[in-house]
Copies of this chain bind each other. A is one copy, B any other.
Amino acid sequence: MSYSLTSFSKDTFNTALREKGLRPTKQRACVYGVILGKRDHPTADDIYDRVKRHLPGTSFATVYNCLETLVGCGLVKQVNMDRSPTRYCPNLTPHAHFRCTQSGKIYDVEIDNDTLSLIQALVPEGFEAENLDLSFSGTGKPSNN
């Protein structure tokens, strides 16, 4: 059993990989599955732990390889905050991140289109931004455990 992706996710997954001439392997499906399954912005190490429950033989190198592939296919995004380990996010809409410095938890923060336009307008003449990263840190929900 590779991993129980919904038929919708499975189709997204297969299509995205085939479009790039890559193989939809069980390891890649599993990595994608665990990221979709708990949207908590896991690190590679977190993902490794979760994948091993389903595919015990999986190596750390494979987790990194799969993550690189999934990012390359646009199925997940990397999230870097300061120099802490890279986290992975399946939310493909443009959004920002908030990290609670107490709990370490990371939350998605929506960006409305008007604000997004204004942010993009900050980029000076002659520069072409392909990518933007916006993140906040501070104290999160008071006693949300």
**Residues of A in contact with B (beta carbons under 8 Å apart):** 78, 80-83, 86, 96, 98, 100-101, 107, 109-112, 114-115, 118-119, 121-124, 126-142
Contact = CB atoms under 8 A, between A and B. Distances in A.
B133 A139 contact: no
Contacts of A82: 78, 80
Q: What is the copy number of this chain in the assembly?
A: 2
Given A83-B80, A132-B135, A122 B141 contact: no
Contact of A139 (B112, B127, B138, B140): B127
Given A107-B124, A126-B140, A128-B138, 16 more contacts: A96-B122, A98-B124, A101-B130, A112-B122, A122-B136, A123-B136, A123-B138, A126-B142, A127-B138, A127-B140, A128-B139, A129-B136, A129-B137, A132-B134, A132-B136, A133-B134
Contact of A80 (B80, B112, B123): B80
Nearest to A85: B83
Contacts of A135: 132-133
18 contacts: A83-B86, A98-B123, A100-B127, A101-B130, A107-B124, A109-B124, A110-B122, A111-B122, A115-B122, A128-B138, A129-B136, A129-B137, A130-B139, A131-B136, A131-B138, A132-B134, A133-B133, A134-B134
